[in-house]
Amino acid sequence: MPRLPDPATLRELKAAVGKESWLESAQAVAPFVSDFRRLYHGATPLVLLPRDVDEVARILSICNREEIGVVPHGGNTSYCGAATPDEAGGQIVLSMRRLNRVRRIDAADYSMVVEAGCTLAETQAAAREADRLFPLSLGSEGTAQIGGNLSTNAGGTAVLRYGMMRDLVLGLEVVLADGRVLKGLKSLRKDNTGYDVKSLFVGAEGTLGVITAACLKLFPQPADTATALVGIDLPQHALDLLARLRTAAGDQVTSFELMPQLAVELTVKHIPGVADPLYQGTPWYLLIELSSPNPQQNLLTLLTGTLEAAAAAGTIRDAMLASSIGQAQAMWKLRESVPEAQRRHGASLKHDVSVPVSAIPRLIEAGSALVHRLAPEGDVVSYGHAGDGNLHFNVSQKPDTDIKSFIARGPVLELAMFDLVESLGGSISAEHGIGRLKAAEFARRADPVELAVMHELKRALDPKGIMNPGKVLCAR
Ligand code: MLT
Ligand code: ZN
């Protein structure tokens, strides 16, 4: 069980990073002790801002010796409280933001090495400068950092084509709990030498060690892109259209995002400059993107033809194809602003869940029935990455309802929603992780053998339990 640090240890930790690389006043540490959703308000005696891997190693070896909890902190965009220290006030926060160098880009190898504190947007931009694509793409990319993206195995809007963060990593540099450095920044596509150790740290949310740098996969830049916003009547029509698109365009189908009409209405209402480009409102909207590195692909013609055939078959009701980059960007702004519009609209209950793609219509139907029965003060706003089987099955507080009674519905609704997701063969956390928010439910629902293996790994790599205590795994 981690302990509270004494003054001598705090002095030693400050000395490990040197002048102006630590914060301790209440005002200075405030941004590091509350999570993005303001669900948790913790405390810390010290925020450390190391500049390199050696400093991180020194910090962890001190904390391990003294049994002090360490909370790695990236862009603080976690929805699950994964980067927030607890309320007891003894955990040190390790901010990664100064480890933000792009160490290497190798265009011929289609790989790059970046440090954990680079934001996702900086990483994408560095790849673009070398005429390469780093394809992870998500709404918070200007703030979220690569270390956090790796630690939560982030997903986003291009998973259909490129996979999640785990699929995009070739090698990692990790500082283990005892301060040893695992130097695994290989750029190999093939490497069958024993266990895939790096994979353990992806999705571990900083509970096994601190990722300090990563070798990432790059791809050719798209040279042809076609984007459309499509109106449909039923979620089943989304699946029919996805199948049609995949037959026509294979893995050029890059994004396939579903939004209910209410999500579009809230976004148009709350986000300046956002408009609904369809002539008639439909119950559901799809944002579709095809992309290819081949400029001769003529994807706009391909997409137009596929949508026309779908319209003739009665699968879609309306569609707008982007005829300029500006129009495509406006469609993406509509989709990416949904969470912010929901936030401005009022309180919300969030469920980041996944099911097999074919079960999406059943999830929507049965999940909506649960919301009507168990949270009648809320409206269903279930949107997200339909092509991946991942919906953010969110519920927005109805106007003029009491916020307290709405929020009080959360726990019962969540249990019922998770039961439903499990009955459909799905996951209670698709892309946002477990953090502190879902640790208890995860412990209750996980396969016992798998959970035991996770605890055994935790004990092997972090026997004193100093790494991000209370996240992912509940203490046993
Ligand atoms: C999204 O897909 O927009 C996010 O993962 C979910 C959110 O921010 O609520
Ligand atoms: Zn998402």
> How far, in Å, is the centroid of ligand 2 from the Cα of 402?
28
- Residue-wise DSSP of 43-81: --S-EE---SHHHHHHHHHHHHHHTB-EEEESSS--SS-
Residue 34 gets which letter from DSSP?
Answer: B
- pLDDT value at residue 51: 98
Phi and psi at residue 383, to the nearest 5°: -135, 170
Q: Best mutation site among 338, 353, 380, 429 for ligand 1, i.e. most ligand atoms within 8 A of its Cβ?
A: 338
Is residue 1 pLDDT above 80, yes or no? Answer: no
> How far, in Å, is the centroid of ligand 1 from the Cα of 187?
30
**Could you tell me the pTM of the whole model?**
0.96
Q: Note the ligand closest to the C-alpha atom of 351.
A: 1
Q: Best mutation site among 39, 79, 271, 353 for ligand 1, i.e. most ligand atoms within 8 A of its Cβ?
A: 79
Give the pLDDT confidence of 29-69 residue by residue, as tens digits: 999 999 999 999 999 999 999 999 999 999 999 999 999 99
Closest ligand 1 atom, CA of 431?
A: 5
Is residue 2 pLDDT above 90, yes or no? Answer: no
Residue 467 gets which letter from DSSP?
Answer: B
Q: Note the ligand closest to the C-alpha atom of 393.
A: 1
Residue of 281, 252, 289 whose CA lies nearest to 264: 281
Nearest residue (by CA) to ligand 1, atom 5, is 156
The tokens for 165 are 């963060």
**Confidence band (pLDDT; 50, 70, 90) for 407?**
very high
Q: Note the ligand closest to the C-alpha atom of 354.
A: 2
In whole angstroms, give the CA distance from residue 417 to residue 271: 29
> How far, in Å, is the centroid of ligand 2 from the Cα of 122?
20
Query: CATH number for the 102-220 domain, one of 3.30.720.110, 1.20.1090.10, 2.30.30.140, 3.30.465.10?
Result: 3.30.465.10
**Mean pLDDT of the residues in the chain:** 97
Tell me what the mean pLDDT of segment 463-475 comes to: 97
Closest ligand 1 atom, CA of 157?
A: 2
> How far, in Å, is the centroid of ligand 1 from the Cα of 9?
40
Angle at 208 between CA 203 and CA 209, to 5 degrees: 100
Instruction: Kindly list the protein residues whose Cβ atom lies closer than 6 A to any atom of ligand 1.
Output: 139, 338-339, 384, 392
pLDDT above 70 covers a percentage of the chain that reads 100
- β-pairing, 253-260 vs 390-397, is unpaired
> How far, in Å, is the centroid of ligand 1 from the Cα of 154?
11
> How far, in Å, is the centroid of ligand 1 from the Cα of 140?
9
Give the pLDDT confidence of 125-162 residue by residue, as tens digits: 999 999 999 999 999 999 999 999 999 999 999 999 99
Q: Which CATH class is domain 224-338?
A: alpha beta
Give the pLDDT confidence of 91-105 residue by residue, as tens digits: 999 999 999 999 999
Nearest residue (by CA) to ligand 1, atom 9, is 339
Query: Is CATH 3.30.70.2740 correct for 346-423?
Result: yes
Give the pLDDT confidence of 420-459 residue by residue, as tens digits: 999 999 999 999 999 999 999 999 999 999 999 999 999 9
Nearest residue (by CA) to ligand 1, atom 8, is 339
Is the fold of 224-338 the same as that of 346-423? yes
As a dihedral over the C-alpha atoms of residue 110, residue 116, residue 122, residue 125, rounded to 10 degrees, the angle is 0
> How far, in Å, is the centroid of ligand 1 from the Cα of 233?
23
Is residue 110 pLDDT above 80, yes or no? Answer: yes
Tell me what the mean pLDDT of segment 107-135 comes to: 98
Q: What is the residue extent of each domain of the chain?
A: 102-220, 224-338, 346-423
Closest ligand 1 atom, CA of 336?
A: 3
- pLDDT value at residue 476: 82
Tell me what the mean pLDDT of segment 323-349 comes to: 96
Other CB atoms within 10 A of residue 456 CB: 10
Residues 6+ apart with CB under 8 A from 194: none
> How far, in Å, is the centroid of ligand 1 from the Cα of 143?
14
- pLDDT value at residue 148: 98
Q: Best mutation site among 153, 159, 258, 392 for ligand 1, i.e. most ligand atoms within 8 A of its Cβ?
A: 392
> How far, in Å, is the centroid of ligand 1 from the Cα of 139?
7
Q: Note the ligand closest to the C-alpha atom of 341.
A: 1
